[in-house]
Structure 1
Amino acid sequence: MSLFLSQMLLLLLLLAVASAVPDDRCQRKCGDVEIPFPFGIGAIIANCSGEDCFLNSTETAIGANCSLGGDFNLTCNTMKSGLKKPFYYDIEFLNISLVMGQVRMLNPISSACYNSTSTDWSLDMRDTPYRFSNLHNKFTVIGCDTLANLLDYQGYASVCVSRCLDEQSITNGSCTGTGCCQTSIPENLKYYEVSFDGAFNNSARNFSRCSYAALLEADWFQFQTSYITTNQLMQINGDGRVPVVMDWAIGNETCEVAKRNLTSYACISNNSVCVNSTNAPGYLCNCSTGYQGNPYLSNGCEDIDECMQSDKCSDGICQNLPGGFRCDCREGTHGNAYNGTCIPEQSQKLIGGNNKLPLTVKVSIGGCSVVIILLLCIMCLYIVYQRRKLEDMKRKYFKQHGGYELEEKMKLEKGLNKFKIFGSKELEKATNHFDDKNIIGRGGNGVVYKGILENQDVAIKKPKIINEDLKKQFGTETLILSNVNHINVVKLLGCCLETEMPLLIYEFVPNGTLFHLIHENENRALASLDTRLRIAYESADALDYLHSKTSPQIIHGDVKSSNILLDMDNTAKISDFGASKLIPKGEKQFATLLQFTHGYVDPECLMTYVLTYKSDVYSFGVVLLELFTGKKVINFDESEEQMSLVSTFIMLENENRVSEILDNQVKLEANIEFIQELTVLIKECLKLKGDERPTMKQVAEELNRLRTFNHPFVVQCNVEEMANLLTGLPNGNHAYSSTTFNIENKFIGWNNMQD
């Protein structure tokens, strides 16, 4: 009985595998493009035709699907020119790589022109096996005085700004910000949309009528100045489409999980291996070493005949083996045929049995010995040279990053600061050679790893890029930042200056971010009004400390909820000084970053390129709004009018309906007067002109006052009753108007005060 069940199970498995094998009659080429399985064009099923049969038919007659199904099914369209080209829906495929797990597609260019013919494109690859390659693509913007955003479905932005004074300032082949700019994209990007900032492109219309933006293949693109002055870019491929590289993978499982279900496991060829995708979930199939072909087909991986290659067994006889080869010395010789050291058998006899060797043999042996000794010496010298080269490179980077100046300043402090300079080997050991498993955060400024140094958990930040002009001051600036000593600021413990990109070591904060507490915590009710007020006050107090109590003073430059960390007691700690600027007294800081989080950035900074203390105040006002409403700053699920949380707040505040967007927990615990005062505080922080905003010190003092605020009107009521009370007040209500006037009086003097 058990034997019968085993045979039936084997038969079912063979049938399942056979059903996934495409028919030999399937079309494997469309025009000049090869279409290898798991990709395919249509299906061959008896007595049936069309896409419905391909997807849903259960007939068991001759024929089979020509692809793995679903999003791997392509169509071969005949163009007006008569050429045939493969398409995935309306997206043209240029080529497909099984080994790399990539396809090249044509992607439309977005444009913004003065003649109102602008087009903002988006591409949604969610719920498909495709995602945009972060290694091979760049977000590219072309134009003069142009700002374009690349938004994903979560609302985060990569921003590129391209500026030029006139036609003479732009250069062919240069895409570094003058006429053309490029920026990287995040991993696992499956959706994007392009939007242009209408405030830009208003001074170059005489010679640059349009601005362009596209996500495209970086190696393909070569900037031409004619792209600025003509519409040549929109003529590429006839209709303004450019190549983009897409990574693809099978399913959403790792190799380990996929192998458990042999009926759906795609690597069915003998001599094939499974490889996990490096860009989001899923896996790929490759042929084993020594084999080539298609691992997705039964017996698709075929042995490579290494003996056909001229560099194999040059001094011996080559014998091809499954997955490899063997070299044997020719008859009458022996030795190592792989490296060409086969010697005649007679020479061995002379060496072993007769001390009276011919002179020619002695000379040959002596010459070979000298050569071997020389080779060994050269190898030893090479190893020593490489080690010295590595040490020289470390010293070079150490000097470039201001390491020697940092050491001198540390000596002057005589141990008052616990800041430490770590070696690159220490950090490699602490992070297991920067293993991806130790990554705890990614952002526009770099990657953060968790590590253990001196028996202490630490966070090690590895920046993506650093301005060459600032490298010399890096060591000195990190020492200054290490002197920042505030309970609500993440402590900088040390740095490493022996690598191309200097590394920063911070204290490890274990309980996630404020963003996680607000938006991803299933039991968000735990965030009481008191907890929110405390977190807000601690964050404001920390920013005030950076603005006014450090020397030199510090502008954070990237205040957002994901940069406010929380420890196990939900104590706030300001983090991520990747965008921070040290400001000498009396000077301004010109913003040079081209990447920030959409929704938090100061609109005045976007227009003037000047980063000020009031830029942090605006961003903190957005954080306050996010904290007390529980809503995301940008929400694509809302209508266009309500997509921006700041715009929604301003609209509702003008209509005395702010309570409609407050978090239910806040409405349960707060009274009317408290909400009125909180509304005024947020409104003042979000003013468009920086000079009209309060200082962080004043914001912190107001939040501290609200924490100890005596609520004389607190009553036990439900959410609906509170909303009715708040929204039911008419605009002419004298009590409300009087209260608001008194509160706003506190802010009248803010505009004339300095940070």
Structure 2
Amino acid sequence: MKPRLDPSPFLFVLIVSLATTITGQSTRPYDVCGENVKCGDFDLEYPFWGGDRPSYCGHPDFQLTCQSDVPELRLESLNYRVLDTDTSSQTMKVARSDLWSTLCPTNLHNTTYNSTLFNGDNFNQENVSLYYRCNTSPLVAQPFGNNYKFPCTVDNTTSDSYFIRTSLVVSTTTVLNFLVQCENHIEVPVNQTSANILLSTTASSDDLQSALRAGFNLQWTVFNDDCDDCIRSNGRCGSNSTSPESFVCYCASGNFSQTCDNRSVDEGGSKNSSLPIILGIVGAVVAIVVIGGGILCCRQRRKRRAIKEASPAQTETKAILTSGTVSSKYNFTSSIPSYPNSSKASKEYTKSSYFGTQVFTYEELEVATDNFNDSRELGDGGFGTVYYGKLLDGREVAVKRLYENNFKRVEQFMNEVEILTRLDHENLVKLYGCTSKRSKELILVYEYIPNGTVADHLHGKLANSSSSIFSWSVRLNIAIETAEALAYLHEKDIIHRDVKTNNILLDKSFRVKVADFGLSRLFPKANDATHVSTAPQGTPGYVDPEYYQCYHLTDKSDVYSFGVVLMELISSLQAVDTNRHKLDINLANMAMTKIQNHMLDELVDKSIGFETNGVVRRMITLVAELAFRCLQQNKDMRPTMKEVVEILRGIQNDELNAQKAEVLDIVVDDGELTKDHNTEPASPDFGVTNKLVGSSVPSSSDS
């Protein structure tokens, strides 16, 4: 049989020719406004302009300047660093440039913005007031004392300055009476987490600096609907050259005040002078749509036919997935066969690969997840929703469907695939494959882990049902396996960057599988000691404070987060809980205080045998000391993950206890971490752990 000639290449040439004819009539603004403002990791479009993007492609109040790969926006005579943006919700996180590196700016200005262009009321944040050149006498109202004071030198004269949440100033008359004696004050918004920290009686000027650097959120409201309508009509958003405050939609055929479909001619714009030309363009567009739609339909039909013919088991598999047999998020195993080592279906589907991992079609994963049915949703993270699925070859999988499909997300997607395919550790979740980077959606396919997360068992939906089996020995083994997984990542020059109990999965035997590593968490190369970020990423309660303050990411950032995980395993408490006392909202802070004040017994989960079992009591005490070392503010005082593994293994094997029985007896009898009750430990070099491991485990300073 003579092979059939594929018309696709000829149709493609026709489409390109027609498109060239049409775009040849494009105006210059239409072309230029397709370019975005690029600065560091940022790639911003309307209403922003600057650099190679001219002013008429944006709004006059949204000019960006690029300072050391960080975009700066000028609002009401002040410059703001742009820390993050979300174009889908028109929101951005900004921080004042004049308060970025100092609390004492040369000129004092309130934080103000044009309410017709921005909205800051839809976010959970509040103002903090900074008072300058105050009376040197101390505040007379408690707890507002010297804790909230910081010095400022202006014109070679040093005077006292204070900071306080604005709401407290208004509600506390005594404080207000004192602060009116100050010469100047300004107000700056901060996010609610930072505001809660500043409420603490131990809040310092360093906490204030961190709060100001964390920034606050704004939503831009300038012509959002108009721009959306313009883009939907294949136009480019911009401003009128004769009236910059007015919106204009740049189209291939002219400049219009509304959309390219609803052609109300803009002043200074251009109108097509010939009706035949317009009709010709419309006809060409219709032809392109019809031809392109026909090609797309044919290709989709061929794909579906290929999937259908690839395995005779598809009909049976889809019936299982759609019959409702699987009804809960964790009860998936009753009707699922084991994965065959040798499968015809598996061979049929391994048609292409990225970095050695299988590439799935979107249609294939639709079938596996019952069209991404809500009943199969396993979780919803910061980057995508995860669904339970079953492949045609019988494998159970967790399918992560990423939220966005833009250039930056594709780049991160490819990086994660490249990273995960070169990892091989029994305590890391395995990547089975992904969709093509050209797929209609970016999707990652992981092995399915059926027993929930550590967070679920400690203080989540499985806490009550698993309390009897989630013993101390199980928790200690979880700590060890998690530490071994992180140590392995560090050996591969990979920093997880989001270590938390929600990312530690458990199989049916309570073996650890660390998940969610790689996506948008790029890490330093092997020859680079630190990574500098425009804004710290991670989960509140787990983020390394030194990384949060200095924006330098190291492997010790994971160590800090792991220290929080250890305290969760000991206490069964959440890392952040706003229902606790304001000083105990952050578990890391509460744990450090309890340990230093010899009150570990108040922190430990009573159900794991701390008060009834001497051996368990010794091991928990030693693990708490290790957590104390991991949670040190100075990263150089923390151990490495390799040291952490060695210490935990020693605790599990009771080697440390046997070496220093006398010291351990003191710990068990007194329930304290140090012999000297009058000495407040200020570093990890105190107590039992340091004495026990000093001769066998290298210190972090040697690493």
Query: Which protein has the larger Cα radius of gyration, Structure 1 or Structure 2?
Result: 1
- TM-score using structure 2 length: 0.49
Larger helix share, 1 or 2: 2
TM superposition score normalised by structure 1: 0.46
